[in-house]
């Protein structure tokens, strides 16, 4: 009983901490489908652990009808988990969600096949998943990781990382404390790679132009001028390879 009250208190506290629109406990209890869905899930999960065959799934379907959030009764959810807005969230049977995680609307924590056993993601503590993101398969997402809206993650993610894109690409931000609600601070990995590619093309075009001038000088009997070299692209090439993946 004490543990249940502690869990409910943590669930309420995280909403008041992370949602400036939450103006009171009664409002959260009556108007927050994320809180309601998790509360109903905790009941269905207990019944699921007792081995009851049908009632937990019926509660799960009721939960889905009332809140728009589908949580399989087998999923394990820690304390202080907040599903913000929540419409369209799907959480699979073998999913494990750590304490103080934050999920936005349209998030899917799903499987990738019909295999038995562990087939859904495991989220460590303080993971933030943006709207519409999909985390698929029996992968592990490390603590304090942020997954950008609309991303599709199918591989393990280390702790303290930021993931963006389809498929999800990891951008490490070691030693930088980031506000979990600051979605505008997510890096634009695609733009960085495109910019680097354009700089590489510009450098190569300049080199080709210089070589053409050099060849013209040689054919006309003049001493060719020195070819100016641009800055090294090694680091930027490495960034491009990390983004598109190195399958060699």
pLDDT digit string (tens) for 109-141?
Answer: 998 877 778 899 999 999 999 999 999 999 999
SS3 122: strand
Q: What is the mean pLDDT of residues 5-12?
A: 81
pLDDT at 175 over 60: no
pLDDT > 90 in the chain, percent: 34
Residue 67 near residue 90 (C-beta atoms within 8 A): no
Instruction: Report how far residue 22's alpha carbon sits from residue 87's, in angstroms, rounded to the nearest whole number.
Output: 18
Q: What is the pLDDT of residues 15-28, one digit of tens each?
A: 888 877 778 888 88
Looking at residue 186, what is its pLDDT? 59
Asked: is 2-185 a CATH 1.25.40.10 domain? The reply is no
Residue ranges of domains in the chain:
2-185, 189-244
Are 177 and 165 within 8 A, CB to CB?
Answer: no
Say which DSSP state 183 is in: G
- Beta carbons within 10 angstroms of residue 27's beta carbon: 12
Does residue 230 register a pLDDT over 70?
no
Q: Is the model more confident about 7 or about 185?
A: 7
CB proximity list for 129: less than 8 A, separation 6 or greater: 101, 102, 103, 104, 107, 123, 135, 147
Classify each residue of 177-193 as buried b or exposed e, where b means 16 or more C-beta atoms within 10 Å of its C-beta. eeeeeeeeebeebeeeb
pLDDT at 135: 94
């Amino acid at each position: 009983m004490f543990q249940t009250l502690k869990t409910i208190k943590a669930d309420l506290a995280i909403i008041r901490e992370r949602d400036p629109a939450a103006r009171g406990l009664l409002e959260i209890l009556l108007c927050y489908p994320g809180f309601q869905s998790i509360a109903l899930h905790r009941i269905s999960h207990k019944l699921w652990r007792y081995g009851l065959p049908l009632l937990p799934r019926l509660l799960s379907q009721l939960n889905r009808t009332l809140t728009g959030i589908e949580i399989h009764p087998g999923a394990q959810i820690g304390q202080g988990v907040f599903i913000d807005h929540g419409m369209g969230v799907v959480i699979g049977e073998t999913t494990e969600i750590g304490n103080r995680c934050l999920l936005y609307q349209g998030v899917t924590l799903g499987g990738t096949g019909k295999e038995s056993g562990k087939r859904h993601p495991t989220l460590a503590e303080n993971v933030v998943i943006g709207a519409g993101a999909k985390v698929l398969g029996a992968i592990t997402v490390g603590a304090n990781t942020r997954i950008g809206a609309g991303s599709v993650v199918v591989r393990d993610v280390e702790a303290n990382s930021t993931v963006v894109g389809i498929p999800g690409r990891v951008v490490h931000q070691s030693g930088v404390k980031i506000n979990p609600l600051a979605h505008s601070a997510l890096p634009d990995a695609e733009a960085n790679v495109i910019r680097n590619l354009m700089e590489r093309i510009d450098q190569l075009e300049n080199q080709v132009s210089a070589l053409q001038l050099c060849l013209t000088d040689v054919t006309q009997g003049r001493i060719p001028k020195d070819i100016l070299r641009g800055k090294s692209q090694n680091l930027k090439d490495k960034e491009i390879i990390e983004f598109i993946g190195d399958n060699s």
